[in-house]
Homo-oligomer: A and B are copies of this chain.
Amino acid sequence: MQTLTVDLNERAYPIHIGENLLRNAELILPHLATKQAAIVTNTTVAPLYLGALSDALAAQGVDILPIILPDGEKYKNADTLNQIYDALLTHRCERKTTLIALGGGVIGDLTGFAAATYLRGVPFIQVPTTLLAQVDSSVGGKTGINHPLGKNMIGAFYQPQLVLADTTALDTLPDRELSAGLAEVIKYGLIRDLPFFEWLEQNMDKLRARDRQALAYAIRRSCENKAEVVAADEREGGVRALLNLGHTFGHAIEAGMGYGNWLHGEAVAAGTVLAADLSRRLGWIGEQDAIRIRTLFERAGLPVDAPALGEDVYLGYMAGDKKVESGRIRFVLLKSIGSAVITGDVAEQALRDTLHVRHV
């Protein structure tokens, strides 16, 4: 097991990465305020891991309330959030009851937001079971739900007490979801870690073959990058926005295609290829770099051609992005592989050209 720390002063917390961690109640017990916990999971993950986690904790005398939600991005909404509230209130869960998120990004975001807002805030723990959640969404305290008018529009910054990334849980992850997680892994290389990007080019086949050592390294390096960025800028006043590379385009793809039809990581992959294309049109990166980026996403099993929603549909969704400031869309673009910048200063024609080539 390896342990990193997200250094947020009084809100600092550890990330444990390793095999069979969710069967090890000793890792969780020190982080529970009382021996009461609600485990929030979904119908896909529950049959696989709820019993193991629940039994391990119950054996240590922890009183467990399981809350099992439907699976899928389309359920990341106010109705599902209310199912969590109803269960907690019906079972009279108290301010010191810990919520444990057992699942992927949707479960983590929903559970974290429920924890942020139930009784004005109760403790929570992330036990991510997908690669995407282990390398990205479980770390950093972004929680929330979607709104019909935009993704993650309602939410809170709310940090967990602990992140437990059990690599054994990836054994049961479908290939498509493994690839989706790799999109966020590649992102860290692109925005701030050229050596990691090069390592990914060398080890992509191993990762897709689920080589345990390679996966553990990719997860650790991703979490290190994320923890450093979050520690520098918890509430996204500045540098943290770099983590959204490809996300402004990606959120438009997710919304435009209907939540859940494209996985978040898939939309980020195609969105990042658009961001690279726009960076190239602005003369910031060369043709070769753009091809190198596209190739790595392809080798990760990810879509690299964004859907032909039409320029105006893209622009409409993007104008509602959370990073919009004074009416200007703010883009995360690449200066080189390993270096990203945030800019609101993009020539509209270059943007339209980037979006236009999608009509293939």
Which residues in B have their C-beta under 8 angstroms from that of A89? 147, 149-150, 153, 320
Closest to A326 in B: B34
Given A34-B326, A92-B319, A117:B149 Cβ within 8 A: no
A contact residues, total (Cβ < 8 Å): 40
Task: Give the interface segment out of A50-58, A154-162, A221-229.
Answer: A154-162
Cβ of A144 within 8 Å of any chain B Cβ, yes or no, is yes
Q: Mark A213-248, 1 if CB is under 8 A from B, else 0.
A: 000000000000000000000011000000000000
With CB as the reference atom, state the residue of chain B lying closest to A320.
B92
- Docked-complex contact B149 and A118, CB < 8 angstroms: no
Asked if A176 is at the interface of the complex by the 8 Å CB criterion, the answer is no
- Contact assessment for B153 and A118 in the assembled complex, using a CB-CB cutoff below 8 Å: yes
Q: Most chain-B CB neighbours within 10 Å: which of A86, A155, A157?
A: A155
Residue of B nearest to A236 (CB): B120
Contacts of A72-102 to chain B: CB distance below 8 A: 78, 82, 85-86, 89-90, 92, 94-96
Contacts A90-B149, A147-B89 known; A142 to B154 CB distance under 8 Å? no
Residues of B contacting A96 in the complex (Cβ-Cβ under 8 angstroms): 325-326
> Which residues of B are found within 8 Å of A326, using beta-carbon distances?
34, 94, 96
For A88-132 the 0/1 string (1 means CB < 8 A from B) is: 011010111000000000000000010011111100000000000
Nearest CB in chain B: distance from A337 CB, A: 29
Q: Is A324 an interface residue (CB 8 A)?
A: yes
Q: How many copies does the complex hold?
A: 2
Chain B residues with Cβ below 8 Å from A149 are 86, 89-90
Complex CA distance for A78 and B120, rounded to whole angstroms: 15
**A152: B residues at CB distance < 8 A:** 120
User: A218 CA to B295 CA in the complex, in Å?
Assistant: 70
Question: What's the least CB distance linking A35 to chain B, in Å?
Answer: 9
A312 to chain B, nearest CB (A): 15
Given A89-B147, A89-B153: A119 and B34 interface contact (C-beta under 8 Å): no
- The reply on A322 being an interface residue by CB < 8 A is yes
CA distance A156 to B319 in the complex (A): 28
Chain B contacts of A324 at CB under 8 A? Answer: 92, 94-95
Chain A, residues 309-328, CB within 8 Å of chain B (1/0): the string is 00000000001101111110
B120 and A85 contact, CB distance less than 8 A? no
- Chain B residues whose CB sits within 8 angstroms of the CB of A85 once the complex forms: 147, 153-154
Q: How far is the CB of A85 from chain B (nearest CB, A)?
A: 6
* Cross-chain contact B319 with A154 (CB below 8 angstroms): no
With the chains together, A120 CA to B151 CA distance in Å? 12
Chain A residues in the interface with B (C-beta under 8 A): 34, 78, 82, 85-86, 89-90, 92, 94-96, 113, 116-121, 142-144, 147, 149-150, 152-157, 235-236, 319-320, 322-327
A-B pairs, top 3 by smallest CB distance, nearest first, are A89-B149, A120-B155, A119-B322
- Chain A to chain B contacts (Cβ below 8 Å), 22 pairs: A78-B78, A78-B82, A85-B153, A89-B149, A92-B320, A94-B325, A94-B327, A96-B326, A116-B156, A117-B154, A117-B156, A118-B153, A118-B154, A119-B155, A120-B143, A120-B144, A120-B156, A120-B235, A120-B236, A120-B322, A121-B156, A121-B157
